[in-house]
Structure 1
Amino acid sequence: MTSPDQPNPEAVSDETLFGADVADYARYRPGLPDAAIHLLAATQHGVPDPVLLDLGTGTGQVPRALLPVLRRLVHIDLVDVHQHMLEAARAALEPVRGSCTVSAFTGEAHTFTPAMPGLAPTLITSCRSFHWMSRPRVLAMADRVAAPHAVVAIMGDGSLWTHEADWTATLRRLIQTYLGDDRRAGTRGTYAGPGRPYEDDLADSAFSDVSEHCFPVARAWTPEDVLGYLRTTSFARPALFADRYREFEAEALGLLKAHARGGVLKEDAEFTVLLARRPGGAA
């Protein structure tokens, strides 16, 4: 069974930022490395009834990948500011959740309150989304709702904007000729990065016992897949280009095809997982 969504009256649900085409988001955003998923599952070894709280869940990539590996999950809380993303996440989980219950909370992560207070999260995840959040307040919320032995996992691998390769550098310059030198961030203006390392945020929180785990990831993109991915980003979504988007898309496709080798564009990335516990928590 699943429980009803929890609407939050203070939710900031900016569908123009990521929610315009949820299908593109689900199709083109890269998944998580298997090694990272198994690392998350291992943190729940010995936990009788694991409960997952996934912050900034998007289309549910983390729980969808974790459920087949951590079959003992008894409950999942999904949190996102985008109602359409939550609907997509719940639909993606339905065929694989088994007896695991699912609740969805529409709102900013730091405002989360459990739908089922008796099920304190034992694993709290944020994948490629922590930089959008009010991080100290999110970690304070996590301290309030999490089980004593809970693990917080902050994960990510940058984006094609930050990846350094000939083809991504050329693509970035093309985007800048249309939108300006500063990286755009949707309706939030420009993006200046998180300001300080996530390790510092964690060090100042209750979850100050931190370990870092890095996994190399090799990806092969087609030019068309890159364009699909760009449509889901805050820095190159179609609305930013207004009536010049078709012009940009045609120019970008030509550029990407020129750089592709055998129709493929290679990305060698590194997926990083920060596991954080309260001092004295189980290793």
Structure 2
Amino acid sequence: MSAPADSTQRFSSRVADYVRYRPDYPPALLDWLHGQIGVPAATPVADIGAGTGISTLMFLDAGHPVVAVEPNAAMRQAAERWLAHDHPQLSFAAGTAEATTLDDASIGLISVAQAFHWFDTEAVRPEWRRILRPGGMALVYWNSRLLDVSPFLSAYEQLLQDYGTDYNAVAERYQDDATMRAWFGDGLRGMVQLPNTQHLDFDGLRGRLLSSSYAPQAGHPRHAPMLEALRALFDAHAVDGRVAFEYRTRAFIGTLD
């Protein structure tokens, strides 16, 4: 599955919403990584497709030295403004998943979060093997929005179908469990699904929607009608001024031998 040529630039105009409204990852993810999988907290991490630094911060807070690899200048600069001052163990690289610019055998753990579905998943393998130390592993994980576990989420899914630009094409890029097991092959060391929830007021819900690459932006004929529909959806389903945006965080880890 290869990424479209402009995939590294899809979020350039959505950086502010991405920083503020995209979900982070549950603490149980690193509990699993450090505990059951046995990855030491001092392991150097390459966070590939780091974006605005949501996943990067998770590893920094756990004590890992991290190099954030991100080709999109606007997103990388947002991460630098947010994180660089308080985290001396953080560095940045303007590389891509297929050409990270990192040194040979310099990384103990590759972290790839939500960006994985944009990569050429075959082209990345030799590059990631090159930068990993012997025995190093790749951790691939993302938040999968639950589509129909509540009336709100069912209605939100319908809104995306009605107003999204290329929503179905983007949604179809996400890999299923069988695909990920095949991608790791005999190197797969573990997989887990963890609950994760955002509680959003209307501004949060609006920002979460507009952070998505398939949401039409201002000037598009579907933009204003989409926001009107979102307001109606929120008013119909909010409890105490918030809606619950529910996910499963899916994670896969293994070697790339």
Shorter-chain TM range is 0.7 to 0.9
Residue pair 2:22, 2:208 contacting (<8 A) in 1 also? yes
Matches within 5 A, 1:147-166: 147-159=133-145, 162=147, 164-166=149-151
- Distance in 2 (CA, whole Å) between partners of 1:261 and 1:247 is 23
- The corresponding residue for 1:192 is 172
1:214 aligns with 2:199: no
Larger radius of gyration: 1
Aligned counterpart for 1:97 among listed residues 87, 96, 99: 87
- The corresponding residue for 1:262 is 240
1:183 aligns with 2:172: no
Query: Per-residue deviation at 1:60?
Result: 1.0
For structure 2, the residue ranges without an aligned partner over 5 or more in a row are none
User: 1:252–1:133: structure 2 CA closer, same or farther, 3 Å change rule?
Assistant: same
Deviation digits for residues 33-65 of structure 1 (CA, Å, limit 9, x no counterpart): 1111333455432x8x63211111111112212
- The corresponding residue for 2:78 is 88
Residue pair 1:154, 1:275 contacting (<8 A) in 2 also? yes
- Distance in 2 (CA, whole Å) between partners of 1:277 and 1:113 is 20
Q: Percent identity?
A: 22
- Distance in 2 (CA, whole Å) between partners of 1:192 and 1:128 is 14
Secondary structure class of the residue paired with 2:81: helix
Higher mean C-alpha deviation, range 32-41 or range 139-148: 32-41
Deviation digits for residues 78-108 of structure 1 (CA, Å, limit 9, x no counterpart): 222311111111222213313x25131243x
Q: TM-score, normalised by structure 2?
A: 0.84
Could you tell me which amino acid in structure 1 is paired with residue 229 of structure 2? Answer: E
Could you tell me which amino acid in structure 2 is paired with residue 126 of structure 1? Answer: V
- Distance in 1 (CA, whole Å) between partners of 2:111 and 2:90 is 17
Matches within 5 A, 1:1-283: 12=6, 14-15=8-9, 17-41=10-34, 43-45=38-40, 50-70=43-63, 73=65, 76-98=66-88, 100-107=89-96, 109-114=97-102, 117=103, 120-159=106-145, 162=147, 164-179=149-164, 183-184=167-168, 191-194=171-174, 197-203=179-185, 208-238=187-217, 242-277=220-255
Q: TM-score, normalised by structure 1?
A: 0.77
- Distance in 2 (CA, whole Å) between partners of 1:58 and 1:148 is 27
**Cα RMSD for the two superposed structures:** 2.7
For structure 1, the residue ranges without an aligned partner over 5 or more in a row are 1-10
The number of residue pairs the alignment matches comes to 249
Query: Per-residue deviation at 1:14?
Result: 4.7
Could you tell me which amino acid in structure 2 is paired with residue 247 of structure 1? Answer: P
User: 1:137–1:118: structure 2 CA closer, same or farther, 3 Å change rule?
Assistant: closer
- Distance in 2 (CA, whole Å) between partners of 1:275 and 1:89 is 25
Query: Per-residue deviation at 1:143?
Result: 0.9
Residue pair 2:52, 2:76 contacting (<8 A) in 1 also? yes
Residue pair 1:56, 1:80 contacting (<8 A) in 2 also? yes
Could you tell me which amino acid in structure 1 is paired with residue 190 of structure 2? Answer: S
Higher helix share: 2
Residue pair 2:26, 2:194 contacting (<8 A) in 1 also? yes
- Distance in 2 (CA, whole Å) between partners of 1:145 and 1:217 is 31
- Distance in 2 (CA, whole Å) between partners of 1:40 and 1:195 is 21
Query: Per-residue deviation at 1:179?
Result: 4.4
- Distance in 2 (CA, whole Å) between partners of 1:193 and 1:29 is 19
Secondary structure class of the residue paired with 1:111: coil
- Distance in 2 (CA, whole Å) between partners of 1:163 and 1:193 is 19
